[in-house]
Amino acid sequence: MLLNAGSAPAGLVQIKQTVGFAVMAITHAEVDVRRARERRPGGRRAEVRRFHLVERLIDNADRPLVSVVAPAGYGKTTLLRQWMAEDDRPFAWLELAEEHNDPGTLLSAVMCALHHVEPFGEGLLVSPSRLDSADLERIVHVGAALATRTTPCVIVLDDVHHVTSYEALHMVAAVLQHLPLRTQLVLAGRFDHTPELCANGESWDCFRLTTTELALDASEAEMLLSGYGVEGDNSELETLMAQTECWPLGLSLAGTALHDGGAASRYPSGDRALSEYFTREIMHALDERTIEFLTRTSVLEELTGSLCDAVTQGSYSARVLKRLDCSNTFMVPLDSRRERYRYHRLFRDYLQQQLRLREPHLVAALHQRASAWYAQHRREEQAIRHALAAGDVNTAADLVWGSVGVSVVRGRPATLRRWLQIFDDNQIAAHPLLGLAAAAVDVTEGHADEATNWLWLTEQAAADGGFSDEAGLEPCLRLLNALLGGQDLGHAEEAADDAFANLSDRSPWRAVSAAFSGMLQHLAGDADAARERFEAAAVRSAVLAPAVHAVCLAELALLDAECNAWDRATDGAEHAEQYANGHRLDDFAPLAIVPAVRALTLAHHGDAAAAHERTDRSLKLLRRLGRVSPHVRAEVRTVLARTTLSIGNTAATRELLRDLRPLLAGMTDAEGLRERIAEIDRGVDAIADAVVGPLALTAAELRVLRYLPMHLSMSDIAEQLFVSRNTVKSQAIAIYRKLAVSSRSAAVARARDLGLLDV
């Protein structure tokens, strides 16, 4: 639904007054609500936010100094007038201007305002002409007169940002120093002058209000907009609040701009009133160098001294930022040390418009400088965005590709996915580096069709545009094709070895290729060659490629298990799991082998429950791989089939074998895989023969049989199988009878002879 507005006040001259009226109307409405609730029997006082600020000011009447600091349009004056209407004390109100930088003029104005609250004695009311700026004795005399006043009041110095001279601020400090009890001095403006008042070591108890408190909340924003006849749903209100950052004047201008039924999402694009306001209220008071700084740095989402120096090619940006911050020029601090800032969103939009009008030829260069600075400081995403804003797709693509391998080996494909979303599909398809990056993400996340498409487009783009192989595109392209699948072991291993041989030694893809080559050797049946490559890959990946390192540790543990070196296999599998968890890789799909090998070692030691949990975790990761990486899927499923067979879950084993056979059919040279599957088949057949043959062991009895070689009591076995001790005992007796033995050790020996247990 579009925001709809009725008639709205017109003309920039009325804007500030209109905002004041609108905010005043909000407060009046809130006061009515408060009073209505107070009249209810037992009703509690409403904590309405805008009126609550007035209440807080009244409640802090004992503090001598009140500071209200915010940029233009935040309703500072309006709030103070609301306070004046509610407070019992009289107000001495001064609207300051440039002329009040003269201390004599300022003191005379203060004295005249106070005289209307409570007349001074004869001779104390001074005029500017009778006070010299260096007449400290006269200032002290007037201060003493202030201290003798009996009527508590509130002295408001509004627009105090016009006063910048040391002498005038010294005069303000002198007035503050001699205030009587329950008399307050209020400094309201765009600058915070409290540091100057404390320059001589004084420490004043000050109550502060800033933009945080003066910004409107949702209910106030809705009430303000309704005054313009603007109504909309919650999402549109949230859009306007986000765009204006709850700035009262910004919301008021939005209400004016939307009187023709415009969409909230398009505000403030091209809003003339907002542009005129910033020009008159902010830019008019600035010198040309400051304006140039503001417009040129508007290309940045964040502002620091170093970054702004790089973009503007200057050397004093930190000072300029500090000065702009002190002057409240719509700067938002991003850290407690006030070293990082950003511009208010509406002000930044305005500055960018001014940059395009003033120096359109410079926009691309500014973004290029920003991109170079971010790249130098290893903040790739911002560097990519600025490179694209400069129209430099090649630099952006180089930045993406430079981080692809690192992101993959650290298990962070989501980061790459987010970066690629900065580009449109046509840009990715037209650039080999971007196409290869997109393919790498899809391979890692298990999107086979998408990865196939990107690899094909990458080959086409490389052929059309000339294939520069400085980044090692050809080896990586072949490696990703091999990882994706559809190749026999020989061709896949050739691609892995080619990548390892031709890529830079610093490339993270070398570790990937070494680990992948080791897995292929294992599937082919060459355990010694596989171990050699996994060990080499483990060393290469120990520091910079944690995902590859975890895979290598698990694969080495698997090789140990196949050699019946179960103690070493158990330690290795546990280390791989802890390493993966420590690097937050437990949810990374390509690491399905890690929980699978851990499940195998747990099953060997009789911990069926833990083995079952790791098996489920591995299957979950395996499903996320989809149809990607058949070599990896075959390796993992073989380990899981052996695990489920070991704990007597033949149904799960048969299901895993059904999924394995199509993978085996596509890898005719995978002799090692073929032998392992055949061994599992024999185990399943042996159990089937035992169940239906002369011994007629049931599935439940076979599960108990698996635990008999272990040093577990009947109670321990019952706990592992989640059954009662009596059930285990009765099944053990049945096993002894069917095997024609009379003891547990004899049953284990007989079962091994029959092939029902591993030797």
Q: What pLDDT does residue 260 have? A: 55
CA proximity to 396, closest of 383, 412, 405, 415: 383
What is the predicted pLDDT for the residue at 450? 93
| Domain boundaries, position 135 | 14-214
How many Cβ atoms are within 10 Å of 250's Cβ, its own excluded? 28
Taking residue 210's Cβ as centre, other Cβ atoms within 10 Å add up to: 14
Both 678 and 699 in a single domain?
no
**What percentage of the chain reaches a pLDDT higher than 70?**
85
684 and 703 share one domain: no
Residue 262 has a pLDDT of: 58
Among 356, 308, 297, which Cα is nearest to 330's?
A: 297
- Residue pLDDT, tens place only, 235-276: 777 778 888 888 888 888 777 777 656 555 566 666 788 888
Domain assignment present for 326: yes
Residues 192, 318: one domain?
A: no
Q: Do 599 and 747 fall into the same domain? A: no
Q: Which of 689, 715, 743 is the last residue of a domain?
A: 689
Mean pLDDT of 118-123: 68
CATH code of 370's domain: 1.10.10
Q: Count up the domains in the chain and report the number.
A: 4
Both 359 and 384 in one domain: the answer is yes
CA distance 552 to 512: 10
Q: Quick check: 297 pLDDT over 90?
A: yes
Which of residues 199, 214, 229 is at a domain's end? 214
Decide if 344 is inside a domain.
Answer: yes
Measured CA distances, 390 to 403, 429, 475 (Å)? 21, 20, 31
CB atoms within 10 A of CB 651: 10
CATH number for the domain spanning 567: value is 1.25.40.10
pTM value > 0.85: no
pLDDT over 80 (residue 75): yes
Q: What is residue 1's predicted lDDT score, i.e. its pLDDT?
A: 32
Give the pLDDT band of residue 328 (cuts 50, 70, 90): confident
* Strands laid side by side in the 91-95 sheet: 91-95, 154-158, 184-189, 65-69, 206-209
57 plus 192 within the same structural domain: yes
Euclidean distance between CA atoms 411 and 376, whole angstroms: 23
Residue type for 759, please?
V
pLDDT at 683 over 70: yes
Same-domain check for residues 19 and 78 = yes
pLDDT for res 600: 94
Query: Can you give the pLDDT at residue 35?
Result: 41
- Kindly state whether residue 169 falls inside one of the protein's structural domains: yes
What ranges in 446-565 are assigned the alpha helix state H?
448-465, 473-484, 489-502, 508-524, 527-541, 546-562
With a cut of 90, say whether residue 362 has pLDDT above it: yes
Residue 406 covered by a domain:
no
**Does residue 150 carry a pLDDT above 60?**
yes
Which pLDDT score is estimated for 48?
Answer: 46
The reply to whether 542 and 664 lie within a common domain is yes
Please tell me which residue, 704 or 691, carries the higher pLDDT value: 704
Longest dimension (CA), the chain: 127
CATH number, domain at 58?
A: 3.40.50.300
DSSP state string for 245-273:
TT-HHHHHHHHHHGGG---GGGTTTT-HH
> So what's the pLDDT on residue 216?
81
Q: Which of 23-32, 98-107, 657-666 has the lowest mean pLDDT?
A: 23-32
Asked if residue 466 has pLDDT above 70, the reply is no
Q: At what angle do helices 473-484 and 432-445 cross, to 10 degrees?
A: 30
Distances (CA, A) of 471 to 26, 398, 434, 500, 517: 62, 9, 12, 14, 21
Length of the chain: 759
What band does 179 get if pLDDT is binned at 50, 70 and 90? confident
Q: Look at residue 126 and tell me whether its pLDDT is greater than 70.
A: no
Is the residue at 544 inside a domain? yes
Range from 62-66, 81-85, 297-301, 341-345 that averages highest in pLDDT: 297-301
C-alpha of 515 from chain center: 32
Helices 76-86 and 49-59, packing angle to 10 deg? 60
656 and 721 co-located in one domain: no
Among 360, 391, 422, where does a domain finish? 391
pLDDT level of residue 691 (50, 70, 90 thresholds): low
Question: How large is the average pLDDT for residues 476-486?
Answer: 88
- By CB neighbour count within 10 A (0-12 exposed, 13-18 middle, 19+ buried), where does 95 fall? middle
pLDDT of residue 235: 74
Lowest mean pLDDT among 121-125, 139-143, 250-254, 535-539: 121-125
Q: Is the per-residue pLDDT at 201 higher than 70?
A: no
For residues 97-124, average pLDDT:
80
Residue of 402, 406, 399 lying closest to 511 (CA atoms): 406
Q: Is residue 171 in some structural domain?
A: yes
State mean pLDDT over 627-641. Answer: 93
Residue 708 sits in a domain of what CATH number?
1.10.10.10
The answer to whether residue 382 sits within a structural domain is: yes
Output the pLDDT for position 70: 87
**Which secondary-structure segment (H or E) carries 207?**
strand 206-209
Report residue 521's pLDDT band, with 50, 70 and 90 as the boundaries.
Answer: very high
Q: 255, 230 in Cβ contact below 8 A?
A: yes
**Within this chain, do residues 685 and 721 fall inside the same structural domain, yes or no?**
no
Q: Which of residues 556 and 255 earns the better pLDDT score?
A: 556
563 and 658, same domain (yes or no) = yes
- 702 and 675 assigned to the same domain: no
Mean pLDDT lowest among 27-41, 143-157, 346-360, 396-410:
27-41
Q: Outline where DSSP puts E strands in 65-195.
A: 65-69, 91-95, 154-158, 184-189
> Does a structural domain hold residue 352?
yes
Mean pLDDT value across residues 382-404: 93
| Average confidence (pLDDT) over 478-485 | 90
- Average pLDDT rounded to a whole number, residues 630-659: 90
Range name among 242-256, 273-287, 673-687 with the lowest pLDDT average:
242-256
Average pLDDT in the chain = 83
